[in-house]
Amino acid sequence: MESSQPQKKYFVVSSDCHVHEPLDLWERRIEPKFRHRIPRLETDANGKRWLVVEGMRRTRVRDVAFEGEDRERAQGGRADLEIRLRDLERDGVDAEVIYPNRGLMMWASPDAAHQTAMCKVWNDWAIEAFASQKHRCAPAAAIAPKDIETAIKEVERVAKMGYRTVFLPVQVPEQPYNSPVYNPLWAAIQETGLPISFHIGTGKDPRTASGDGGAVINYVWHAVAPAIEPIVQFCSSGVCERFPKLRFGTVEAGIGWVAWMLAAMDEGYTKHHFWVSPKLSLLPSEYFRRQGFATFQDDRIGLETRKWVGIDNLLWGDDYPHHEGTWPRSQEVIDRTMSDLTEEERRKVLGLNAAKLYGFAVPAGRGG
Ligand code: MN
């Protein structure tokens, strides 16, 4: 607790937290015709347990004996609000944006109707689960974007329910985000004023590699790196030009790649001008600086690149309670990674940028 005290002058928003959904959430609430198709655990004849998800390679479930803080993280993230708020407080966090755990697989099935049914269950549950703390606990509404008309109706519904952001999968196989078929959806989302979040590990199986190095290959290449794609698609295809108020960004992908991506997009746009369409009125990087954002947890190298990216586009998050996050040692990580930042820069990345984007009220005296 004492480690959080020196930070109290900052308003701290974790833009990337997670909750364990009730074990039987989808089983209980999904339309009956999809019930036999939801993600499930199966035990084979040899007693091995497997996670079986429609649209993904089945993966072995291993029992890992966690110890110490790894164990605390493995047990954290419940929907129980009393415990959850105590965990936030312990980490010096004032408000949070909340994503699911198992729900990250809501887009695994290639069947658009199945995806829609999965997302609806989460959307109906999450806003209700955090209703009593809605000023500081903001779940993200899940949208299945493949069937555009249905997606638009869900966007309008969740906006009325009080959601502060919509989250979409980082990839939609066979229907990429640079396609103009999405224009009506982007128009509808812009109309609500809600930012679009692309949380890593969605829309593409993040556990593609196995064997030697599998855990690292999966994290870097199959979970984090794919999140770059929707950002490049938005900045280069005219989405930002057509929808100048649409905000969009990556969640949990870190920020070390952003400066590189901005330079690479502009290089492609200018040097390959003879192949480029549509012609845009700004450079791709300028659209990102105007409308894009990216969240990070523990990324000192990424913070070093802030002069190229823009401090207003960077949002911190602790990824509570996940192992790649910083909970319960966020204050130590903040001190270790942000010592070069000015006071104003710290205030922005720790909370003010997120407060503006997601609409959290900043308490008097902590706005800088
Ligand atoms: Mn996360």
Q: How far is the CA of 14 from the centre of ligand 1 (A)?
A: 10
Q: How far is the CA of 252 from the centre of ligand 1 (A)?
A: 5
- Give the integer Cα–Cα distance in Å for 40 and 61: 11
Q: Where are the domains of the chain?
A: 2-26+77-358
Q: How far is the CA of 104 from the centre of ligand 1 (A)?
A: 10
DSSP label of 326: -
Q: What is the pLDDT along the chain (368 residues), one digit of tens a residue?
A: 444 454 478 999 999 999 999 989 999 999 999 999 999 999 999 999 999 999 988 888 988 889 999 999 988 888 899 999 999 999 999 999 999 999 999 999 999 999 999 999 999 999 999 999 999 999 999 999 999 999 999 999 999 999 999 999 999 999 999 999 999 999 999 999 999 999 999 998 898 898 999 999 999 999 999 999 999 999 999 999 999 999 999 999 999 999 999 999 999 999 999 999 999 999 999 999 999 999 999 999 999 999 999 999 999 999 999 998 999 999 999 999 999 999 999 999 999 999 999 999 999 888 86
Q: Which pLDDT value is given to residue 64?
A: 87
Q: Which pLDDT value is given to residue 78?
A: 87
**Kind and range of the H or E element at 291?**
helix 284-291
Q: How far is the CA of 272 from the centre of ligand 1 (A)?
A: 35
Q: How far is the CA of 10 from the centre of ligand 1 (A)?
A: 22
Q: How far is the CA of 268 from the centre of ligand 1 (A)?
A: 30
Q: Helix or strand or coil: residue 132? A: helix
The arrangement of secondary structure in 2-26+77-358, i.e. its CATH architecture, is Alpha-Beta Barrel (3.20)
Question: Which segments of 207-309 are extended strands (E)?
Answer: 248-251, 292-296
Find all residues with CB under 8 Å of 204, minimum gap 6, and list them.
169, 170, 171, 173, 222, 226
- Give the integer Cα–Cα distance in Å for 88 and 96: 8
Q: Which pLDDT value is given to residue 4?
A: 47
Contact, 122 vs 143, CB < 8 A?
no
For 165, half-sphere exposure in the C-beta direction (CA atoms, 13 angstrom radius) is: 29
Q: Which pLDDT value is given to residue 79?
A: 86
Find all residues with CB under 8 Å of 77, minimum gap 6, and list them.
17, 18, 19, 20, 84, 101, 320, 321, 322
Q: How far is the CA of 273 from the centre of ligand 1 (A)?
A: 37
Q: How far is the CA of 199 from the centre of ligand 1 (A)?
A: 7
Which of 341, 151, 181 lies closest to 255 in space, CA to CA? 341
Q: How far is the CA of 253 from the centre of ligand 1 (A)?
A: 9
Q: Which pLDDT value is given to residue 62?
A: 86
- Give the integer Cα–Cα distance in Å for 96 and 83: 14
Q: How many Cβ atoms from other residues are within 10 Å of residue 52's Cβ?
A: 13
Distances from the Cα of 17 to the Cα of 76, 185, 341, angstroms: 11, 26, 24
Token duo for residue 29: 């609430």
Q: Which pLDDT value is given to residue 129?
A: 97
